[in-house]
Amino acid sequence: MKDAALPVMLIVLGAAWLLNSLHWLPEIHWIWILGLAGAGLAILMLDGMTKSSIVAGPLLILAGLLSFLHQYYFLGWRFMIPVMLIAAGLLMLIARSPSIPESRNFNRRFERKPRDKDSHG
């Protein structure tokens, strides 16, 4: 089920966004803020520290924070987009560290099994 967490979360977030765009949801701004930050936290908790989660998780949390600042303190897009770009670049550089694994399940799925010398026929 852990492998399905991200796709399910993306579907729920996309559906909520669509319903909000169609004005079928009540006018609650906290849905986006908590949804973005919650998705970021969920990625970090479910996937652990991996090269993709170290980028995606904090970026979603930052997007939630910037959404809050945009909605309540009128922070403009001209500040939000550069902050997201800088954060994405920094997180991608951090993800290049050899101490951060590709993924938690990568080694188990693609691990090469030793071949038996007698089975080559």
**56-107, pLDDT tens digit by residue?**
999 999 999 998 888 888 889 999 999 999 999 999 999 999 998 887 764 4
pLDDT of residue 105: 60
pTM for this structure? Answer: 0.66
Domain containing 66: what range?
2-104
* Cα 43 from Cα 46, distance rounded (Å): 5
Q: Give a yes or no: residue 75 inside a domain.
A: yes
From the list 110, 102, 115, 113, the residue with the least C-alpha distance to 48 is: 102
Domain count along the chain: 1
Is residue 83 a part of any domain in this protein?
A: yes
DSSP 101: -
Question: What would the two tokens of residue 45 be?
Answer: 């908790």
The answer as to whether 116 is a domain residue is no
**Residue entry with tokens 């994405």:** 88
pLDDT in the model for residue 1: 41
Mean pLDDT, range 107-118, rounded to an integer: 52
> What is the model's pLDDT at position 106?
47
